[in-house]
Structure 1
Amino acid sequence: MARIDGGQALVATLKRFGVDTIFTLHGGHLDCIYQAAVAEGFRIIDHRHEQAAGIAATGYARTTGKVGVAIVTAGGGVTNVVTAIANAYADCIGSVFIGGGPPLRDYDALPVNSGYDQLSVMGGITKWAHRVSHVERLPDLVGRAFHIAREGRPGPVYLDLPSDVLYALLEEGDIVYPSAMRVLPPAPAPSAVTAALELLRGAQRPVILAGGGVAYSAGSDLLNRFAELSGIPVMTNNKSRGSLPTDHPLWARGFGALGSAVGRGAGAPDVVLLLGARLGLYTGGRRKSVIPRDAKIIQVDISAEEIGRVRDVELGVVSDCREMLAALIAQAGNGPWSDRSAWVSGLRGDDAPKPPAPSAADGLTPGLVASTLASSVPADAILVLDGGETPAWFDGFAASLKPDRWLGHGYMGIMGEGLPLAVGAQTAHPDKRVICFSGDGAIGFNFAEFDTMVRHNLPVVVVVNNDQQWGMSAHGQDLIYGPGKRVASDLAATRYDVAASGFGAHAEYVASFEELGPALKRALESNRPACVNVMTKPVMNPITQRFMGLAAESLRSPEGKARVPYADVLEV
């Protein structure tokens, strides 16, 4: 009977769960996994930093609906991937992270790549973290990892593989591999559906705030059907953008547009269907929520503990979003829906004055670059945004016709995720164009991923908004302290195009508006990894003033309290 090692058993199990791609950075602890993966025809995308490998796995997951897999080596490899795992935890991205470890037999003897307890580091940033102590347990524990990562609220899990477990041998005939079982998602109680419909039908100004739960449950088709059946407008966030196409007459932009509607006199919502979206940063925070205090909230979430975060809700429903939408549609015909076209039009701002389009007369501004780029990319492109102000410039111009094609920041707001997210997305979708629009600060974190793109023939087009500063930081300091008092927020006029060319990428340098369109065209037509370095005029985006809150007016209130920036209207 044949004997195999733990690396072979691991790869055989991954294959049974539909895995054919691994994101990694080489470590000697992992070589038996690599050998087995190559033998099974896996694609191995090797990166230049473990953080990039982890983020790429989540980009793969976000654009496919599959579980992304990243494997890193012991010691520094595990600590380097912490940010990627924490980000996946905050944003509920189904992913399996595997870390090599020193031998169990030498655990307290300070062997190579050791010195701390890897498992304890992962405990607070994963749904489940476990150390495999016997090679015979490896297949069933990998199966458990996939089950936990994707069922219920998705999220990351971590498996620690000591090298003496990974290289140990076992009889192949004795292995019982786990099945890729699926659990039926929770459906709403009929009484909850009835109550939700009564609230929605009775509302004068209802709105649906659709979040990641819609995208993760593959519920966008049903969201479209229910919105059209009920006539209720839909707003989306970074994780759900495209779930209702941005050219749909019922799409009313992002959650923050609720505040703009109130300012225009369009009115405030009286009933909010919070569908797989969380109360927090993207609804305005605890003190400055875009949802009025007197609005009735119907909160639908697959996780019971999420319901009622920050504030009380009128009706909480523990359910998969797709199941909830299906149930709403099934009952929605039992009575008429009011004509709410005036509310939809007011919420969208159809009759409101439109801000002037960016003009070359104002110089090569970030807004002009964003609008030009948005009009240049294919309609089915996957768009990746990175930076502080840079994504906000692009948001107002880009279209999203389907879900899973807009990868923006989540709750952690980590800089530098753009390039690795683009690598993961392009690996998953070789037939699609992947465009990354990044600030010059963010691009520096994982810049060596141009090397990854070149080596693996991933034709991502990267456009750098090079305004020679950490835009949100610099403008925030100007707002609070006045001009001339910036600290650690200015950058050089770096030639990112030259650096990318050194890795073998197609490179373009743009210093005028006349050069921009042709440069973008050449980059797209090169069908190679490309860097378009655009030297832009530093202009503050309005999002920065909103983030500063009252601190932008003064760091002290009239009563003498301190105002806290980046914390809406917090005074202490």
Structure 2
Amino acid sequence: MNAAQQILEIFEAHGIDTVFGYPGGCIMPLYDALVDSAGVTHVLCRHEQGCALAADGYARSSGRVGVAIATSGPGATNLITGVANAHRDSVPMVVITGQAPSALIGTDAFQEVDVLGMTLDIVKHSALVTRAEEVGPAIDEALRLAASGRPGPVWIDIPKDVLQGEVAAMAWAEPTEPGRAPGGGAALTDVAAIVDMLRRARRPLLYSGGGVSRAGAEAAFRAFAETSGLPHVHSLNGIGNAGRAHAEDLGMLGMHGSKAANQAVDACDLLLVVGARLDDRATGQLDGFAPNARLIHLDIDAAELNKRRRAELGLRGDLAPMLTALTQTLADRPLAIAAWRRRCRDWRARDGFAATRPADPRAPIGGPAFVRALSDAAPADAIVACDVGQHQMWVAQHFAFDAPRHHLSSGGLGTMGYGLPAAIGAQFAHPARTVINIAGDGSFMMNVQELATIRRHRLPVKIVVADNACLGMVRQQQELFYDNRESQIDLDDNPDFAVLASAFDIPTHCVTRIGEIDAGLRALFEAPGAALLHVAIDRADNVWPTVAPGRANRDMLHAVPAAMPAATAEA
């Protein structure tokens, strides 16, 4: 066989049955091999960025490795945003690109770019394979490496002639569950130290992030949260860790987090961080974040420990065994924090996320009220792939998720255009589940070409376009921090989304007033296949609360003040 055929053999050995790609000259040998492959389904997206983001949605929703394939030159460069998105959110992905023939590398050949040099900062590992016999081992290692430890994308670049080179048949061992970290989890002495700090604290708080689901530690986390009784806050990628409406869950913290969550962080005297990296959108001004708290930090990646905030105790390891050990140690003697729990529950009742639905059916539609109605109408196991913008924050605040893998959102990179291709990937991973793409009118237009992918494969993706005829989050920042000087945010010349969807045989329902929401949601979910709900959102609607750039989370804004200072830091 040739090296391209061997790649497909390795895919089948690893259980990779779905890949997302776009063909071209230097990757042609792999596409030729696909003609004879019975075990690998290739999904032709309509732009390479769509391929990478679909592979991200597939991986993020399933926990399996996503695979994206493209040719050299613009094929590779078009993948970069989607790969960077996966890297920032620790999503397991293998990327395979063709490269100019070996003899032409370094000559500025047609569609030649230095893929390794361009992608060093956005991959977990990368390689340019120069010999045909090295292709198989490189792909095998890439699939294992992408899923082990802290997951992430691995990029393999292969010259066209190397893909065509003959290789000997090999027996590929079935992949084993990758080890997360040397030693697996925390030592008994570490567990004892954590429990001792928890028992000595009067106001301990649990803060979890996307690392919980990346580690497959959802069950271990919930058992620990239940046994410990700790009040809990979470990051954007940690939404769903505690399940739907858990009694101790105070909601998302940070820039657009709940007042209840940020108050608890400000008041706690011990913060136990599990699988979160204390990013700037979560912490706000760092010296104002949990100012009275000692910090315990549990993470798979040693580079995250003490990166932004020094921990009293920082432990690298697999979260599931660490949390299980903590649960077992705490089981016989509960923490004595009843007063602190009552205080946090009071904050949650008073200062959690609120969304009031106007009684007047003719009232304009506000983002929070619509998202609450969508959450109530959607199946409990629905997967939501959300784009980036105001609607992203409304979903984070007001949609109730049973599990973290039900919520797909671009956290670290904030990639507009993420939601539609991610929903496609999630639908391939879960063909029997309801998958919803929630987009803004700006982000929807960024990868709108993937409607063709939905039509080709007859995917039953439910699309919601929250349309306020502008770049809403940019408009909000300009209103609050730039003296309301609007600049380049109007999108009122977008196409008619109903007409656009109809070109792809996707039925559309439009709602413009509060009283029309319920009928619109029924039309969306009762449609037998794909459907689009076009929702007119009040242009003036803002995401509340919010934190001004460079300010501490305790200084949250809850309404437009009479006057705002000029921007002094990046938004």
8 Å Cα contact 1:22-1:45 kept in structure 2: yes
Q: 1:27 aligns with which of 13, 24, 27?
A: 24
State the match for 2:172 in structure 1.
177
Which amino acid in structure 1 is aligned with residue 268 of structure 2? Answer: P
Kindly provide the CA deviation profile for residues 328-376 of structure 1, in whole angstroms up to 9, marking residues without a partner as x.
1222235342142652552562442774613153422223322221222
- Which one of 115, 120, 123 corresponds to residue 123 of structure 1? 120
Shift of 1:541: 2.3
Distance 2:282 2:570 in 1: 17
- CA separation of 1:48/1:481 partners in 2, compared to 1, >3 Å: closer, same or farther? same
Report if the CA contact (8 A) 2:95-2:154 is conserved: yes
The code of the aligned residue for 2:456 comes to: R
After superposition, the Cα gap between the structure-2 partners of 1:356 and 1:252, relative to the gap in structure 1 and judged at 3 Å, is closer
Q: Structure 2 counterpart of 1:84, which letter?
A: G
Paired with 2:16 and 2:568, the residues of 1 have a C-alpha distance of 49
Distance in 2 (CA, whole Å) between partners of 1:234 and 1:273 is: 9
Aligned partner of 1:132 in structure 2 is: 129
* TM-score normalized by the length of structure 2: 0.91
State whether structure 2 residue 223 is matched by structure 1 residue 225.
yes
Task: Note the alpha carbon deviations across 1:96-143, whole angstroms, 9 max, x for none.
Answer: 0111111011224444322x3122112221111101111111111111
Alignment partner of 1:62 is 2:60: yes
2:564 is the alignment partner of 1:564? no
Aligned-partner SS, 1:209: strand
Q: Distance in 2 between matches of 1:491 and 1:326?
A: 50
Residue 212 in structure 1 maps to residue 217 in structure 2: no
State the alpha-carbon separation in 2 of the partners of residues 326 and 386 from structure 1.
34
Cα distance between partner residues in 1 of 2:28 and 2:359: 54
Q: Are positions 1:11 and 2:8 aligned together?
A: yes
Structure 1 Cα separation of the partners of residues 294 and 570 of structure 2: 29
2:554 equivalent in structure 1: none
- Secondary structure of 2:172's counterpart equals coil
| CA gap 1:541/1:103 in 2 versus in 1, 3 angstroms | same
1:416–1:445: 8 Å Cα contact kept in structure 2?
yes
How far apart are 1:246 and its partner, in Å? 2.3
Paired residues of 1:426 and 1:434 also in contact (CA < 8 A): yes
Structure 2 residue identity aligned to 1:504: D
- Choose which of 158, 162, 185 in structure 1 pairs with 2:159: 162
Question: What is the rounded CA distance, in whole Å, between the counterparts of 2:284 and 2:355 in structure 1?
Answer: 30
Stretch deviating more after TM superposition (100-109 or 55-64): 100-109
Corresponding residue of 2:449: 448
- Once the two structures are superposed, residues 486-519 of structure 1 have per-residue CA deviations (whole angstroms, 9 ceiling, x without a partner) of 1111111531121111122122222233333222
Q: Which segment is superposed worse, 219-228 or 26-35?
A: 26-35
* Residue pair 1:5, 1:166 contacting (<8 A) in 2 also: yes
Q: Which residue of 2 aligns with 1:570?
A: none
Q: Distance in 2 between matches of 1:543 and 1:258?
A: 9
Name which of structure 1's ranges 32-41 and 505-514 shifts more when overlaid on structure 2: 32-41
| Cα distance, 1:540 vs structure 2 | 3.4
Cα deviation for residue 471 of structure 1 reads 0.4
Write out aligned runs for 1:483-502 (5 A).
Answer: 483=484, 485-492=485-492, 494=494, 495-502=496-503
Equivalent position to 2:95, from 80, 97, 117? 97
Q: What is the aligned partner in structure 2 of residue 459 from structure 1?
A: 460
Matches within 5 A, 1:474-513: 474-483=475-484, 485-492=485-492, 494=494, 495-513=496-514
Residue 12 of structure 2 aligns to a residue whose secondary structure is: helix
2:322 maps to 324
Q: CA separation of 1:445/1:192 partners in 2, compared to 1, >3 Å: closer, same or farther?
A: same
Deviation, structure 1 residue 176? 5.1
Q: Secondary structure, in 3 states, of the residue corresponding to 1:435? A: strand
1:559 maps to what in 2?
A: none
Q: Is the 8 A contact 2:512 2:535 kept in 1?
A: yes
**Helix, strand or coil: the match of 1:98?**
strand
Q: Which residue of 2 aligns with 1:270?
A: 269
1:333 maps to which of 331, 334, 347: 331
What does residue 534 of structure 2 align with?
A: 533
CA contact (8 A) 2:501 2:507 kept: yes
Q: Does the residue aligned with 1:563 lie in a helix, a strand or coil?
A: coil
State the Cα distance separating 1:261 from its structure 2 match: 3.2
Take 1:471 and 1:151, find their aligned partners in 2: how far apart are those partners? 38
Q: Counterparts of 1:14 and 1:466 in 2: how far apart (Å)? A: 41
Q: Deviations over 1:159-205 (max 9, x none)?
A: 00110001122333xx3535524443321121111100111122111
Question: Shift of residue 27 of structure 1?
Answer: 1.8
Structure 2 vs 1, CA of residues 414 and 360 (structure 1 numbering), >3 Å: closer, same or farther? farther
Distance 2:356 2:349 in 1: 17
- Aligned-residue identity in percent: 30
Counterpart of 1:395?
396
Is the contact between residue 366 and residue 538 of structure 1 (CA under 8 Å) also seen in structure 2?
no
- 3-state SS of 2:298 partner: strand
Residue correspondence of structure 1 range 289-308 to structure 2 within 5 A: 289=288, 291-308=289-306
The residue matched to 1:93 in structure 2 has which SS?
Answer: coil
Bigger shift: 357-366 or 321-330?
357-366
- 1:133 corresponds to which letter in structure 2? T
The CA distance in 1 between the partners of 2:287 and 2:20, in whole Å, is 40
CA shift in 2, pair 1:420/1:547, >3 Å: farther
Deviation at 1:478, TM superposition (A): 1.9
Seen in structure 2, the aligned counterparts of structure 1 residues 356 and 317 have a Cα distance that, compared at 3 Å, is: closer
Shift in alpha-carbon separation, 1:179–1:358, aligned structure 2, 3 A: same
Structure 1 residue 543 displacement after superposition: 4.5
The alpha-carbon distance between structure 1 residues 499 and 135, as it changes in their structure 2 partners (threshold 3 A), is same
When residues 230 and 44 of structure 1 are mapped into structure 2, their CA distance, relative to the original with a 3 A threshold, is: same
In the alignment, the residues of structure 2 paired with residue 499 and residue 527 of structure 1 have an alpha-carbon distance, to the nearest angstrom, of 19
Greater Cα offset, 179-188 or 420-429? 179-188
| Alignment partners' CA distance in 2, 1:325 and 1:371 | 32
Q: 1:266/1:156 Cα in 2 relative to 1: closer, same or farther (>3 Å)?
A: closer
- Which has the bigger relative contact order, CA under 8 A and spacing at least 6? 2
CA RMSD in angstroms, aligned pairs only: 2.4
Q: Distance in 2 between matches of 1:26 and 1:360?
A: 53
Shift in CA distance, 143/338, structure 1 to aligned 2, threshold 3 Å = same
Alpha-carbon deviation of 1:252? 1.8
Q: Deviations over 1:230-283 (max 9, x none)?
A: 211222223232221122212221123887238879971111110011012243
Q: In terms of mean alpha carbon deviation, does 140-149 or 543-552 score higher?
A: 543-552
Contact 1:280 1:286 in 2 (8 A): no
- Tell me the distance in 2 between the aligned counterparts of 1:48 and 1:532: 22
Deviation at 1:555, TM superposition (A): 4.6
Amino acid at match of 1:180: P
Query: Are the structure 2 counterparts of residues 266 and 147 from structure 1 closer, same or farther at C-alpha, using a change threshold of 3 Å?
Result: closer
Q: Assess if the C-alpha contact under 8 Å between 1:139 and 1:176 holds in 2.
A: no
Q: Does the 8 Å CA contact 2:73/2:111 hold for their aligned counterparts?
A: yes
Is the CA contact 2:509–2:520 (under 8 Å) kept in the aligned structure 1?
A: yes
- 1:46 to partner: Cα distance: 0.9
The number of aligned residues is: 553
Residue from 78, 81, 84 that aligns with 2:82 = 84
In the alignment, the residues of structure 2 paired with residue 122 and residue 266 of structure 1 have an alpha-carbon distance, to the nearest angstrom, of: 36
- Over 3 Å counting, the alpha-carbon distance change for 1:288 and 1:519 in structure 2 is farther
Q: Which AA in structure 2 matches 1:478? A: E
Q: Which runs of 5+ in 2 are unaligned?
A: 552-556
Matching residue of 1:520: 521
Higher mean Cα deviation, 535-544 or 58-67?
535-544
Contact 1:472 1:544 in 2 (8 A): no
Cα contact 2:59–2:93 (8 A) shared by 1: yes
Asked if structure 2 preserves the Cα contact closer than 8 Å seen for 1:258 and 1:347, the reply is no
